[in-house]
Each structure stands twice: as structure tokens, then as C-alpha cells.
Amino acid sequence: MTMPLMRPARKNPMLRTRQLNLPPAARGRVALGITAAAAEGRFELQACEDCGAVQYPPREACHKCLSPRLRWQQQGGDGVLLSSTTLHHSNDMYFRERLPWRLGLVHLDAGPTLMVHLHGDVPDAVDPPVRLRVGARLDRTGQAVLIGFPTEGGAAMADDKMLREMTSDPKFRKVLVTDGKTAVGQAIVTSLVRAGADIVWVGHAEPWKKTADMQALSALPQVTLVPLDLTNGRSVVELAGAIGGKVDIVINNAEVHRTFGIAARRGIDVAKAEMDINYFGLLRLAQEFGPALRGRSADGEVGATAWVNLLSIYALSNFPPHGTFSASKSAAYSLAQCLRAEMRPAGIRVINVFPGPIDDEWNQHVPPPKVGEGALASAIVKALRDGVEDVYPGDVAQEWLERWRANPKVLERELAAGGS
């Protein structure tokens, strides 16, 4: 059984902070299909539409009947361990620093045989045969890797040394949540505390606007309120100067949400305020905190690991009644892709969260289902633990995502007609 992760000792400031060597990242275009599914937490392989064969590795045509009609199909991942081995030597710098490392050869019930990283709870023995479940995760390069999980994991399964390389568990980590004023922000903070975060810094813009909830939050021993106003470049610079070197996870949940299209409100002041937080706020934050995170991505067992953006499902396709908000989230989404590309060489994961309408005062007129702050906070913590990149919490987000994937033009027309 995996031993639970113990609180790591304080780092020795006399020693150089370790830098990250990345595992091999090259994948062909076809193989990126596994990555695309893993980014959302699914394990998919190619299945032939003609003969039904499931294949691995991904190819341009079916390995059995040569048909090019392949589609990505979600896999349960159940299979048998054929053999396992423990590496004590590697010429690859990433693995060399993390030896010993276990690998296994697995025969999936669905057909293919594949090589996986083995979770510590999977036994070596192959007699009697060991059943296991293969799943896909993203490694430090953001590329999919396959992992052999035990069919029944222990309580500390997430603390497996190999698995922690693929995830961003908040346990013992130091997290910045950029806005503690909203119910969502407060739920994120309490979820992080429950998940074992060491310190949660909570941004507090315009401190003269006090709320009782905020005061209650600051009573938690892990929580420290910090002045942070994403519209004020200097505020971001000063906070990054003060805590940037210690933050392991940034959760940017600060947003302005107003409910206007183009014609419903005169002037652009509201749209500008939305852009100033939702888009420029992310840019300011990324310029100041990005370098600090990149420099500490291999800093011990609980080094810098992830950056979470609270976007919106409206980022995918404009919801005209909330038109300017949608546009600002779309801009933020685009910038978050840039951030992801720039953080990837350092092994920092950028997680984009696309909730459906949140159950807050600005969605008062939006009929249910709406995402509660607790569900949204849980989805964020789960995304960190599972190491996924894109999360769509809530029924509305799931449904819109499906419709957007099916046909973005159709969804655009439907949203213009009122959404349903």
C-alpha cells in the first residue's frame, strides 16, 4: 500500500533549487488524440468503425483491416498485467532523477497490449494473474501517458510518487486564490483547506468593502488575506514580490460579470471593467507570478505545479444576453492557451475551468440548473488531484460543450435564439 505523503521538511536554502528536466514530449499528430482525451480525464483509444478493432499505438489506419475509418473511443482500461519491471537506470534525464521507476506490460481486455507506468499498489507478481485498470494522465510536459492503477486502491493512493508527477494535489501546497470576496472564492478556499493545503493566500481587493464571510475565512489558521486588485498593476507586482517565491498553485477566480449584450447598456464602461479583470487581470497576474512558478516547478515534493483559470462555458460561444462577459471570457480563454504554452516547458499545468452559469447574484434571472459554489470548488480541487487540463462543471456546461463539439454553428444559432 502507498504510504501517505508526510509533510516535507523545510528546504535547505543553502542548496540550489532544482530545475525541471522534462520527460520525452514528442508525439505525432495522431497520438495527440490520447492527450486530448486525457486533458479532460478520459482514456481513449482508436476503434475501427469497420471491423471494431481497438488499437494502440494510434495509427492512420486500422492495423487489422487497414480501414481509415477510425474514431476515438472511451476505454474502461481493464486488463491483465503481463509483466512488470523496475528501472534502476535510465539515460533520460527526467527518469534518471526519479529512479527507481516501475513499468508494466498490460494486455487490455479490449485487445491491445501496451506499456504503462505502474502505480505502486499494483503488485509485481504475474502468477496468479494481476488484474489492473489502465488510465491516461498528463505528464509534466502535458502529454498523455498511460498508467496501470490497482483495481482497488488504498486510502493514500493519490500519494504514489509516480502518480504525483502527473497531478497537482493541493496537499501541503501553498496556494493563492485571487478573490476571496465571492461565495465561489470562499468555497475554493475552504475546499483547499480541507484538501490539506499548507497556506492559502486570499486576495482582497478594495478592503474597505468588508463582508462577514471574508472575516470568517480569515479566522482559518491556513488562510492569510492579502491585498490584491487585478486592475492595479502595482498591487500585483507587490504581492508577487512578497509571496511569489512560495506560491505552488495560483487559482485565478477574480472576475467581473455583468449581464449585458451590446444594445442593453450604453457605453463601454461595464465591458471595459469585465475586460480589465477577466482578461487584463489574468495577463497582469501571469506576467508577475508566471516566472516565479516556472522557477520552482521541481522544488521538492510539493513544488510549484499548477495554474487554474476560472473561465466560463460562454468562452466557447457567445451567450448574447451576457454578451460582453462572454467576450471577455473568450479573450481570457485565448490568453490562457498562451499561458499554457509558456508554462509547459517548466512543467506547470494550466487548468481551464469552464463552468455553466454560477448560482450567484449576477445569474439571478438565469433559470436552474446553475452551478453551486461548493460544486465548483470541488471540481477545481478534483481537477488538481486528477491532473486534468480542461473542466466543464455543471449540467449546462456539459450540454453546451456537447452541442459545441457537435456543431458550433448550430449552437451559435441556438444561443442567438435564446439558448435552449
Partner 1 sequence: MTQPSEPMATADILGALVGALAGGRIRVIDLTQTLTPEFPQIALPPEMGQCWPFRIEQVSRYDERGPSWYWNNFSCGEHTGTHFDAPNHWISGRDLPNNAVDTIAVQNFVAPACVIDCSQQALANPDYLLTVADIEAYEAAHGRIPQGAWVLMRTDWSKRQDPEAYQNFDETGQHTPGPSAEAVRFLIDQRAVLGFGSEAIGTDAGQGFHLRPPYPCHYYMHGAGRYGLQCLCNLDLLPPAGAVLICPPLKIENGSGSPLRVLALVGAVA
List of residues contacting partner 1 (CB under 8 A): 206-210, 229, 231-235, 258, 267, 269-270, 273
| Minimal distance, residue 208 CB to partner 1, in Å | 4
Q: Quick one: how far is CA 189 from the chain centroid?
A: 17
Give the residue with the Cβ less far from partner 1, 283 or 375.
Answer: 283
Query: How many beta carbons lie within 10 A of that of residue 52, not counting itself?
Result: 12
| Minimal distance, residue 212 CB to partner 1, in Å | 8
CA distance 241 to 282: 17
| Minimal distance, residue 265 CB to partner 1, in Å | 9
- Whether the CB-CB separation of 91 and 106 falls below 8 Å is answered with no
| Minimal distance, residue 362 CB to partner 1, in Å | 9
Peptide linkage before 369 cis (omega within 30 of 0): yes
- Whether the CB-CB separation of 148 and 132 falls below 8 Å is answered with yes
Give the residue with the Cβ less far from partner 1, 90 or 231.
Answer: 231
CA distance 260 to 322: 5
Give the residue with the Cβ less far from partner 1, 113 or 211.
Answer: 211
Q: CA distances (Å), 368 to each of 360, 396, 420, in order?
A: 11, 9, 12
Give the residue with the Cβ less far from partner 1, 50 or 269.
Answer: 269
* Closest among 308, 318, 325 to 393, alpha carbons compared: 308
Give the residue with the Cβ less far from partner 1, 364 or 420.
Answer: 364
| Minimal distance, residue 183 CB to partner 1, in Å | 15
Give the residue with the Cβ less far from partner 1, 66 or 268.
Answer: 268
Burial status of residue 28 (CB atoms within 10 A of its CB: 0-12, 13-18, 19 or more)? exposed
Give the residue with the Cβ less far from partner 1, 218 or 231.
Answer: 231
End-to-end CA distance of the chain: 49
| Minimal distance, residue 282 CB to partner 1, in Å | 16
- Whether the CB-CB separation of 300 and 11 falls below 8 Å is answered with yes
| Minimal distance, residue 288 CB to partner 1, in Å | 13
| Minimal distance, residue 321 CB to partner 1, in Å | 15
* Closest among 338, 329, 251 to 289, alpha carbons compared: 251
- Whether the CB-CB separation of 57 and 31 falls below 8 Å is answered with yes
| Minimal distance, residue 266 CB to partner 1, in Å | 9
Q: CA distances (Å), 355 to each of 93, 266, 317, 385, 393, in order?
A: 38, 28, 13, 18, 5
Give the residue with the Cβ less far from partner 1, 91 or 208.
Answer: 208
Give the residue with the Cβ less far from partner 1, 342 or 360.
Answer: 360
CA distance 202 to 251: 10
